[in-house]
Amino acid sequence: MDSAELDYELPPELIAQQPAERRDGSRLLVYERSTGRVRHRMFPELPDELGDELVVVNDTRVVQARLKLRRQSGGAAEVLLLERLDRDGNWEGLVRPSRKLKPGDRLGAVELLEPLGQGRWRLLLHGEPQGEAPLPPYITAPLADPSRYQTVYADDLGSAAAPTAGLHFTRKLLEQLDVERVTLHVGLDTFRPLTAATLEAHELHGERYSVRAEAWRRIRDAERVLAVGTTTVRVLETVARNSLLQGRTRLFVTPGFEFRRVDALLTNFHLPRSTLLALVMAFAGVEETRRLYRIAIARRYRFYSFGDAMLIL
């Protein structure tokens, strides 16, 4: 599939720069695959749209992973911590300006060890991360409350970005649902845009996941499963295929994919030419996804990390 098929035009003012005043204050576009019907609701009405679905969330917690540092020359540098490799301070991170740096260079608390390509480095962090919330580059406004870039159920520290579909939930809303948890630590695979001409040529590096045995039994035996976010989809469909409750997933969900355990999807509106949009197209259909995005733009839905949500049934 040509990557250009994931392009669309978005008015810049529809890119949400701040979360809604209330966590559950976002809008909810509901799409029924069986009928093609579209409904426009508010997020607190989510339980009214569901039946007996088991709602599965990703409980990863975001690391304060964006480190603004100085090179030994005095020039500015930035490190985005992607993944903790061990308990001795070894991490993988994106480093800028990568081409001006070499192994052994020290950037504050960060020591560069080995370049891994495409701006990625293996590095040694002295101490714990003391950076900023790793907001995506299209969010230019400062975040007044850093907790709004964490889900209310965030638990297992390890993500370089938030699983944004879960940002809409309040504890009160969760109490109305049957909820189970899995963990996928969001890394480069989730937020790196497509750069190859085709989806087939795009390379995934893999992201760490884990599922408790009891949780998987409930998920496996559920009549219907609602996955909250694309990261949750990747965990569930990985385990449905390999039966391994922890490891790394390189699963790339593209149109034509056979879903074995996800029956419904709750997600935000994603960037063009992203693996996330490819997954939504795989679940809802390519042309249907394009239609839904046109509707959302016409209705002035808010897009991306702090934007509104879509429920695909």
Per-residue pLDDT of the chain (313 residues; tens, 9 = 90+): 999 999 999 999 999 999 999 999 999 999 999 999 999 999 999 999 999 999 999 999 999 999 999 998 889 999 999 999 998 999 999 999 998 899 999 999 999 999 998 899 999 999 999 899 899 999 998 899 999 999 999 999 999 999 999 999 999 999 999 999 999 999 877 778 888 899 999 988 889 999 999 999 999 999 999 999 999 999 999 999 999 999 999 999 999 999 999 999 999 999 999 999 999 999 999 999 999 999 999 999 999 999 999 999 9
Three-state SS sequence of the chain: CEHHHHCCCCCHHHECCCCCCCCCCCEEEEECCCCCCEEEEEHHHHHHHCCCCEEEEECEEECCCEEEEECCCCCEEEEEEEEECCCCCEEEEEEECHHHCCCCCEECCEEEEEEEECCEEEEEECCCCCCECCCCCCCCCCCCCHHHHCCCCCCEEEECCCCHHHHHCCHHHHCCCCEEEEEECCCHHHHCCCCCCEHHHCCCCCEEEECCHHHHHHHHHCCCEEEECHHHHHHHHHHHHHCCCEEEECCCCCCCCCCCCCCEEEEECCCCCCHHHHHHHHHHCHHHHHHHHHHHHHCCCCECCCCCEEEEC
List the domains of the chain with CATH numbers. Answer: 3-62+134-312 (3.40.1780.10), 66-125 (2.40.10.240)
